A = this chain, B = another copy of it.
Amino acid sequence: MERVVKEWMHANQQQAIDFLKEIVQEPSIQGKEIGAQEKVANKLKQMGLEVDIWEPGGEEFIKHPYFCATRTDFAGSPNVVGVWRGTGGGKSLILNGHIDVVPAGDETQWLHDPFSGKVTGGKMYGRGVTDMKGGNASLLFAIECLKKLGIKLKGDVIFQSVIEEESGGGGTLSAILRGYRADAAIIPEPTDMKIFPKQQGSMWFKIRVKGRSAHGGTRYEGISAIEKSMIVIEEIQRLEKKRNERVTDPLYQNIPIPIPINIGVIQGGDWPSSVPDQVELQGRMGVAPEENMEQAKKEMEEALNHLSHLDDWFSEPPQLEWFGAQWVPGTIDPEHLLMNQIISKFRQVMKCEPMVEASPWGTDGGLLNKVGEVPSIVFGPGITGMAHYPNEYIELDKMIACAEVIALTILEWCEVSG
């Protein structure tokens, strides 16, 4: 069977590449997902899957504690799910990939049109090709291969093309609330073909540090919010150190800072010769795979409250706001059966040992895990370091190899029927 899969894939790989190009040419940034989703839905129908297309919405969704988005109206932004119903008695598998891509950014930094899907030297270039349309193409190619080979499975395969992963996971949340569950899931985010049984979660924060304005020539009459923000940053560095000293998971043994707190943006003051009366910090707090997000938020709050012991100015602590996106952490038991299977199939296909690590960023696996109770593995062909960058690309042979690993894993997990 392994040989048959390999041969079919080898003979038909141009189809997968052509399909990837088609969906890369649809610039499915937030709000513009429909063109790409239509192509995915057609593909699923051609393969004979039951196709479900819907726009996320409704009270339960918008008010859900894990709902996190920059919008509440998803008209024109459908999710697409294709179900390959099994004959019964087998384990089910969700194959989840997001269709949304981040904007192309400064197009002058791109060598090719970011939505051209230009192929050269065994690589395809384009926004989203690595994060994560290439992974989605691997999933669809794996399903197509098994379908074309006339295989019947005992367990269901549920393919999900979701929106909103880049903005907080609303697409996957909506799919869970619509009732899609399974015994496990695979998400082919760009892992450089590493296997991630655990995923770091993350949350974005804003901290507003106040000062008191004065003329720069009499700056001693004011309080510099820039100087005060340095004290806040040092406190956050101490918090990061404390949180990371607690991380003993061997999956993190080679990671210098398993759950970093990154301060990404600083902005304060509006005139060179005025004492700045406000600084805003924006950052990202990593959340450990087994950690509770609310608990992590509380630790940040406590750190800011602690500032009053260091400096009377902070008797009213800086204002903390959790804003924008969040990614729920996720974890699957490293000894889980699906882990054993995917590792063994990886060895067969790649002829080497996989790297098994904890991801330094969140995926929709966190929601599948926490809200859907679906243990999830992240494993995909994209290049981690190219995600969100100009000249994003994917190595096409990795995309095919990933499809092969996944096809073989499906066969073992869902089991061939009759």
Contacts and interface: CB of A to CB of B under 8 A. Distances in A.
Contacts of A266: 226, 229, 266-269, 276, 279
B257 A220 contact: yes
A274 interface: yes
Contacts of A200: 217
Contacts of A283: 216, 272-273
A256 to B, nearest CB: 4
A219 B260 contact: yes
Contact of A263 (B205, B224, B233): B224
Contacts of A271: 264-265
Nearest to A270: B265
A284 interface: yes
A68 interface: no
Interface of A is mostly: mixed
Interface residues of A, number: 46
A360 interface: yes
Contacts of A267: 266-268
A267 B264 CA distance: 11
A13 interface: no
A204 interface: yes
B272 A215 contact: no
A400 to B, nearest CB: 27
Given A233-B226, A263-B226, A266-B268, A273 B217 contact: no
Interface string A221-256: 000101101100100000000000000000000011
A200 B255 CA distance: 52
Contacts of A202: 216-217, 273
B268 A272 contact: no
B265 A218 contact: no
A324 interface: yes
22 contacts: A200-B217, A205-B272, A216-B264, A216-B286, A217-B260, A219-B260, A220-B255, A224-B262, A226-B233, A226-B263, A226-B266, A229-B266, A262-B272, A262-B274, A263-B276, A264-B270, A264-B275, A264-B276, A265-B268, A265-B269, A266-B266, A272-B282
Given A217-B286, A224-B262, 6 more contacts: A216-B283, A219-B262, A264-B269, A264-B274, A266-B269, A266-B276
